[in-house]
Amino acid sequence: MSTGNNNRQKKSYSLHQFTILIAEDFPFMADLLSSMLREFGVGRIIVAENGRDAISRLRSSNGDSGSREPIDLALIDWLMPKQNGMEVISWIRSHKRDSLRFLPTILISAYTSEAVVEAGRDNGFNEVLVKPVSAEKLAQRILYVIDNPRPFVKAPNFFGPDRRRKDLDYSGEERRVTQSEHIKVNHER
Amino acid sequence: MQGETRVNIYKATKILQAKVGSGAVEKEKVEVCQKQIDENQTDFGPMAKEFLDELTRAVTFARAGKEDLQSLRQHVTQPVMQLKANGAMFGYTLIGDLANIMLNFLETVSRIDDDIIAIVEAHQKTLAAIVNNQMKGDGGATGKMMKDELVGACKRYMEKRHAKGNS
């Protein structure tokens, strides 16, 4: 089964401690995603019916007056009324609270073009899940985010997960600051 | 200004792994979920209607001269992609095939005219017929005919445009 680490196939995740936000305006899709996540064993699922609702729920769970069970991962549809997925991710990545700006996010999109995947990446999403969604693809994306946390990059025009998936040789000037005084361990919780 | 180009790296944390452990999602659970998707009995018709109505509005606006090419692309692409993505969850794979033809066509045109609007309208009517007749899967011979018709219409348009451009 490709939905987990092959070396540890026998062991299952304890997803009952996990809280996932689904921001999806299409009720059928929101129900379907919820149902699958429940089957995977996710303990708490919060559904937001549009972008504004998603922001409100993120603010109340992970914001200044955050709950004791903050949202661990957000699945965000691109096309939503009252603030779309790109506006939601912009709000998340520009928030002052670490529990929000470093929040792992997966963009859900009906668009399959390269431009959409690039837009998702450049706006700070961790992963992209293209509709139609299959159970295996959903599990893979979630497990990938859990097993492969990416460093975050703060550049003049970007803040989000490192967009480089692999290290390539680079002979130019090193402009990335990685000294210990500049490394901040994220997630205050 | 070095300060403006400096890039800060924040180390990745294993916070999620610490919370949920590691391993896999059991294969049986994934199969149960996929079965839910494959065997869902929800009627796609009412959901599709919303997107088909959006397409109709785009065509009406375009005919009235209220859409430029960019807005027509946007107003057609959104419902077509929604129909494609959600239709596939209900077994309407033919919708996806037709959507790809339509979207590729709209990417290649550089201005809006009556012929383009007619092709978009034909596409809208074809999609409506597929949903109304619950034509799931590839639609068999009828599905193939529909695809050939749409490809043919797009091809004729491109040939006509090239002929005009070369004359």
Task: Kindly state the percentage of chain B with pLDDT values over 90.
Answer: 19
Q: Is B17 among the domain residues?
A: no
Check residue B17 and give its pLDDT: 87
Task: Please check whether residue A78 touches B, CB under 8 A.
Answer: no
Orientation of helix B69-89 relative to helix A27-40, angle to 10°: 40
> Both tokens of residue A62?
């992970």
Q: Is A106 among the domain residues?
A: yes
> Both tokens of residue A63?
């914001």
Read off the pLDDT band of B167 (50, 70, 90).
very low
Q: What is the mean pLDDT of residues B54-60?
A: 89
Residue B147 belongs to domain with CATH number: 1.20.120.160
Quote the minimal CA–CA distance from B19 to chain A in Å.
7
Check residue B25 and give its pLDDT: 84
- The conformation of residue A6, written as its DSSP 8-state character, comes to G
Check residue B44 and give its pLDDT: 87
Q: Is B115 among the domain residues?
A: yes
Minimum-distance CB partner of A183 among B9, B27, B47: B9
Quote the minimal CA–CA distance from A184 to chain B in Å.
6
Q: How far is CA B91 from the centre of its chain?
A: 15
Q: Is B7 among the domain residues?
A: no
Provide ipTM, 2 decimals. Answer: 0.76
Q: What is the pLDDT of residues B30-41, one digit of tens each?
A: 999 999 888 888
Residues in chain A: 189
Q: How far is CA B167 from the centre of its chain?
A: 35
Q: Is A179 among the domain residues?
A: no
Q: Is B58 among the domain residues?
A: yes
Query: What is the distance between the alpha carbons of residues B98 and A187, in angstroms, rounded to a whole number?
Result: 46
Query: What is the distance between the alpha carbons of residues B29 and B22, in angstroms, rounded to a whole number?
Result: 16
CB contact under 8 A, A147 and B9: no
Check residue B7 and give its pLDDT: 83
Q: How many CB atoms lie within 10 A of CB B165?
A: 7
CB-based contacts of B75, cutoff 8 Å, min separation 6 = B54, B57, B58, B61, B67
- Give the domain extent around B77: 26-166
Minimum-distance CB partner of A39 among B27, B33, B85: B33
CB contact under 8 A, B12 and A152: yes
**B138 against B166, higher pLDDT:** B138
Check residue A94 and give its pLDDT: 94
Q: Is B125 among the domain residues?
A: yes
CA atoms within 13 A on the CB side of A121: 11
Q: Is A17 among the domain residues?
A: yes
For residue A14, which residues of chain B lie inside 8 Å, CB to CB? 20-21
Quote the minimal CA–CA distance from B158 to chain A in Å.
22
Check residue A174 and give its pLDDT: 65
Q: What is the pLDDT of residues B91-125, one digit of tens each?
A: 888 998 898 888 888 888 888 888 888 998 999 99
DSSP helix/strand/coil, A186: coil
Place of tokens 């210990």: A180
pLDDT of B48 > 50? The answer is: yes
Q: Is A28 among the domain residues?
A: yes
Place of tokens 């429940």: A38
Residue A31 belongs to domain with CATH number: 3.40.50.2300
Task: Please check whether residue B84 touches A, CB under 8 A.
Answer: yes
Task: Please check whether residue B74 touches A, CB under 8 A.
Answer: no
DSSP helix/strand/coil, A12: strand
If one counts the domains in chain B, the total is 1
Q: Is A121 among the domain residues?
A: yes
Q: How far is CA A180 from the centre of its chain?
A: 26
**What are the distances in angstroms from CA A158 to CA A15, A86, A109, A123, A165?**
31, 14, 21, 8, 16
B86, closest residue in chain A (CA to CA) = A132
If one counts the domains in chain A, the total is 1
Q: What is the mean pLDDT of residues B75-89?
A: 85
Task: Please check whether residue B151 touches A, CB under 8 A.
Answer: no
Check residue A168 and give its pLDDT: 63
Q: What does pLDDT average to over chain B? A: 86
Q: Is B19 among the domain residues?
A: no
Quote the strand ranges of chain A, DSSP E: 19-23, 44-48, 73-77, 105-109, 127-130, 152-155, 158-161, 176-177
- The conformation of residue B138, written as its DSSP 8-state character, comes to T
Q: What is the mean pLDDT of residues B10-28?
A: 85
Q: How many CB atoms lie within 10 A of CB B117?
A: 18
Cis status of the peptide bond prior to A149, with omega within 30 of 0? no
Check residue A113 and give its pLDDT: 75
Check residue B6 and give its pLDDT: 78
Check residue B34 and give its pLDDT: 92
Check residue A182 and give its pLDDT: 40
Q: How many CB atoms lie within 10 A of CB B160?
A: 11
Task: Please check whether residue A164 touches B, CB under 8 A.
Answer: no
Q: Is A92 among the domain residues?
A: yes
- Give the domain extent around A136: 6-167
**What average pLDDT values come out for chain A (189 residues) when binned by 10 residues?**
49 83 92 94 95 95 76 93 92 92 92 81 93 92 91 89 74 60 40
Check residue B88 and give its pLDDT: 84
Q: Is A178 among the domain residues?
A: no
Q: How many CB atoms lie within 10 A of CB B100?
A: 14
Minimum-distance CB partner of A104 among B16, B21, B32: B16
